[in-house]
C-alpha cells in the first residue's frame, strides 16, 4: 500500500469518513500501528511523560524528537507521520523552519505539529510558505501546562470558546493543513469541525471531529496512575496488542469511540 497523504485525509473529510490517529515512539510499535491500518502516526512530545517519566512535555528536546521520529519512520511505511515541534523550538519564524527541517530531513516526518494560536499563526504562515505541511493544536496545549495552571478543559465559558473558534479559523487561513482540538466541550469541537474545510482531530473533544487521536500507552493500559478520562484501555478486552490497535481503529471509524463517558460538555 502507498503512504497515506494529506490529500487522502482531506478527501475523507469531504466524504464524511473518520480517520484514525495514534501516537508512537519507536519502530516496533509503528510497524504494529501501520499493520492495523491507522492512517496517521503522531510522534508526540508526550514521550516526555510516557517514555521518559517527566511530569510534562516541556523537558523534551528537538534532538530527542528527531531520534524518535526517525525510529517511527523506519517502522511505518503506510501511515502519514506527524512530528511534534517541542517546547520553545519555534519561538521565531527562522527557528520554526529550522526545527521543521530537522524533523523532516533527519526524522522522516511528513508533517509537523505546533501548539497555540496568537503568535503561532505567524509561524504557520512562514512554514506553509516554505512548503512545510502543518498541523495546528488548540484547546489544552500541554506545552503551556504551567502557564494555564494544569491539565484543564478549555473553552467552557463563552469568551474562551469564541477565542478558540477565532484561532481555529485564523490558523486554517494561515495555511494549517490539520487541526488538533484537545479537551474542549464536544459542542464547540463539533461546531469548529463543521466550519473548517481542513480535517479536525479530536482528543477529549467528543465524537463530532473528523478523526480521533490517543496516546498509545493509554489505549494499552500502560500509563502509570489514573488514565485520562477521555481515553480507553482497548487492550483489556482484547487478546493482544495487535487486536487492541485494530479495535481502537474500528471504534473510531464506526463512531463508538469516543462515548459519552469520554466526552466533556
Buried b / exposed e along 141-160 (16+ C-beta atoms within 10 A): bbbebeeeeeeebbbeeeee
Q: What's the confidence (pLDDT) of residue 55? A: 93
Q: What's the confidence (pLDDT) of residue 224? A: 84
Which residue is catalytic, options 55, 63, 182, 194?
182
Q: What's the confidence (pLDDT) of residue 115? A: 98
Distance CA 206, CA 182 (A): 10
- Beta pairing partners, 214: 22
pLDDT at 19 over 80: yes
Residue 225 — very low, low, confident or very high, per pLDDT cuts 50/70/90?
A: confident
By the 10 Å C-beta count (0-12 exposed, 13-18 middle, 19+ buried), 116 is classed as middle
Is 261 an active-site residue?
no
Residue 241 — very low, low, confident or very high, per pLDDT cuts 50/70/90?
A: very high
- Residues 112 and 90 sit within 8 Å (Cβ to Cβ): no
Among residues 168, 49, 65, which one has the least CA distance to residue 116? 168
- Residues 213 and 23 sit within 8 Å (Cβ to Cβ): yes
Residue 70 — very low, low, confident or very high, per pLDDT cuts 50/70/90?
A: very high
Q: What's the confidence (pLDDT) of residue 183? A: 98
Q: What's the confidence (pLDDT) of residue 109? A: 98
Distance CA 220, CA 233 (A): 5
Cell output for 138 = 488548540
- Residues 214 and 251 sit within 8 Å (Cβ to Cβ): no
Q: How far is CA 189 from the centre of its chain?
A: 14
Cβ contacts of 188 within 8 Å, gap of 6 or more: 155, 161, 164, 165, 205
Summarize pLDDT for 114-136 with one digit per residue, the tens: 999 998 999 999 999 999 999 99
> Average pLDDT in the 26-55 region?
97
CATH class of 6-262: alpha beta
The continuous run of DSSP H or E covering 181 comes out as strand 178-182
Cell output for 54 = 517527566
Task: Give the predicted TM-score (pTM) of the model.
Answer: 0.97
pLDDT at 246 over 80: yes
Phi, psi of 21 (to 5 degrees): -130, 140
Cell output for 105 = 530531513
- Residues 199 and 178 sit within 8 Å (Cβ to Cβ): yes
Phi, psi of 220 (to 5 degrees): -105, 5
Amino acid at each position: 500500500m502507498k503512504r497515506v497523504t494529506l490529500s487522502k485525509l482531506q478527501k475523507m473529510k469531504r466524504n464524511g469518513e473518520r480517520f484514525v490517529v495514534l501516537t508512537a515512539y519507536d519502530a516496533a510499535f509503528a510497524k504494529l500501528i501501520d499493520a492495523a491500518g491507522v492512517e496517521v502516526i503522531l510522534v508526540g512530545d508526550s514521550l516526555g511523560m510516557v517514555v521518559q517519566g517527566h511530569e510534562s512535555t516541556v523537558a523534551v528536546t528537538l534532538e530527542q524528537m528527531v531520534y524518535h521520529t526517525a525510529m517511527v519512520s523506519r517502522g511505518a511505511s503506510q501511515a502519514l507521520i506527524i512530528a511534534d515541534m517541542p517546547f520553545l523550538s519555534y519561538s521565531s519564524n527562522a527557528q520554526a523552519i529550522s526545527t521543521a527541517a530537522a524533523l523532516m530531513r533527519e526524522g522522516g516526518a511528513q508533517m509537523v505539529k505546533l501548539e497555540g494560536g496568537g503568535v503561532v499563526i505567524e509561524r504557520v504562515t512562514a512554514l506553509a510558505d516554505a512548503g512545510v505541511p502543518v498541523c495546528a493544536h488548540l484547546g489544552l496545549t500541554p506545552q503551556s501546562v504551567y502557564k494555564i495552571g494544569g491539565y484543564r478543559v478549555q473553552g467552557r465559558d463563552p469568551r474562551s470558546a469564541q477565542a478558540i473558534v477565532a484561532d481555529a479559523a485564523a490558523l486554517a487561513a494561515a495555511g494549517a493543513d490539520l487541526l488538533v482540538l484537545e479537551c474542549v466541550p464536544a459542542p464547540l469541537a463539533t461546531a469548529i469541525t463543521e466550519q473548517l474545510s481542513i480535517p479536525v482531530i479530536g482528543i477529549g473533544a467528543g465524537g463530532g471531529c473528523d478523526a480521533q487521536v490517543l496516546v498509545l500507552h493509554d489505549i494499552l493500559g500502560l500509563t502509570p496512575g489514573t488514565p485520562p478520562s477521555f481515553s480507553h484501555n482497548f487492550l483489556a478486552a482484547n487478546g493482544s496488542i495487535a487486536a487492541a490497535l485494530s479495535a481502537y481503529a474500528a471504534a473510531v471509524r464506526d463512531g463508538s469511540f469516543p462515548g459519552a463517558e469520554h466526552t466533556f460538555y
